[in-house]
A and B are shown apart, each in its own frame.
Chain A
């Protein structure tokens, strides 16, 4: 009704704006959790340089040189698919960025499946593509990331507990490795984002979580690998940048209720159901 439409047939309902298909709200009917939730995409252009002048962004070094939003005005073309088991929202953001958001009837998390690539580099700049989930949580510069899938460790923006930090790289200096997930919390709620692969991530603003989805860079960062992080797939001599497809999962809980889901569902991401196929005559399979 009005300016928004709902997605989700079960406890979880996501609200989107009608005119541009943007996610605006996350609501869980079962536990009365309702929070603003917006998603955006952008990319960082990588520094082109050497080890001496303008240290390049490369395999070892993340050194962004400018932030470019992707479709900040909204997603003009989107498609909603509804059914008895799950609803999907498809967003085509540009020629190399596509996302499907799924809400399963029996689950209380949203699933984002992103497909990124081949990232264009014709303009001479490498790109590092990220997505951000912004909530209204008052997080006071604090967020939590896992430690190689184990305990979540407290991170404070622009701060290290054991030395005086002088921040020269406000983005890269606050990035951490994410293997299981990242979460933020305030006095009433917590928002968790789990991943299906190792990525980089951070919380660069209060109430926000950021994940890096893909990197394609054109310069060697001169830290030993000896080549640029510019992976390509070649078919009959036609080489294109790598295309990646992955998933992340968002859930917002009342404070203190997210840890169980992060542990349990994190294990389910790591050990998915395995499928095998065969065929049999109709009359004999019973």
Chain B
């Protein structure tokens, strides 16, 4: 019922020399962006259903976060406390193993990160700067017409090891009942120096 055709069309149109070089008019740039966005949303559903099958998440909803770069990601910022845990599927589209630090916005510091075997892995919490909150609100307002769910909060960073052309699964869980939790970063301002 879903396809990647819309994204294919949008990408094809964006091959025009004006799109490539940025010499299109503003209303045309906006049209390129709109078509890419429509294509992305459609393709996102294909990817979500594919990942749900691969990871045996079954009927659970799978989300991507296109505004993750401005720390807007409702699934990870939600209060996944109590019995629910946040599942993160990390897919590697390249043909070699990669180990990289993954960063997601969270609203609480009481979290731990577990790998797919249930073992806790090292993670770090970085406070969101005032400026990044400003940027987040700017984009969320501009593109979604609404205010950001949480300004401030934290970035949760952990190291993901992902096989070639494959995926790894990580779980972010409430720290309740656990001895350790994610390490809060140390902060020094220019005055400290």
B24 touches A225 (CB 8 A): yes
B131 touches A115 (CB 8 A): yes
Q: Nearest chain B CB to A111's CB is how many angstroms away?
A: 10
B85 touches A106 (CB 8 A): no
Query: Measured between alpha carbons, how far is A60 from B86 in the docked complex, in Å?
Result: 47
Known: A82-B187, A83-B124. 16 other contacts (CB 8 A): A59-B22, A79-B129, A90-B131, A98-B135, A227-B25, A231-B29, A235-B141, A243-B135, A274-B47, A275-B65, A276-B62, A276-B64, A277-B75, A278-B60, A279-B86, A282-B85
A residues contacting B by CB (< 8 A) are 5, 18-19, 21, 59-60, 75-86, 88, 90, 92, 98, 100, 104, 106, 115, 198, 223-227, 229-233, 235, 243, 245, 267-268, 271, 273-283, 285-286
A-B contact pairs, 15 of them (CB 8 A): A18-B193, A83-B124, A86-B124, A86-B157, A88-B126, A225-B24, A231-B29, A235-B141, A235-B145, A267-B94, A275-B91, A276-B91, A277-B64, A282-B83, A283-B83
Instruction: Point out the residue from A79, A98, A100, A271 that lies within 8 Å of B94, measured CB to CB.
Output: A271
Residues of A within 8 A of B127 (CB): 81
Q: Nearest chain B CB to A71's CB is how many angstroms away?
A: 13
Instruction: Point out the residue from B68, B89, B100, B186 that lies within 8 Å of A278, measured CB to CB.
Output: B89
Residues of A within 8 A of B68 (CB): 275
A278 in contact with B62 given A81-B126, A85-B123 (CB within 8 Å)? yes
Residues of A within 8 A of B173 (CB): 282
Q: Nearest chain A CB to B40's CB is how many angstroms away?
A: 12
Of listed A78, A271, A281, A285, residue having the most chain B CB within 10 A: A285
Residues of B within 8 A of A77 (CB): 189-190
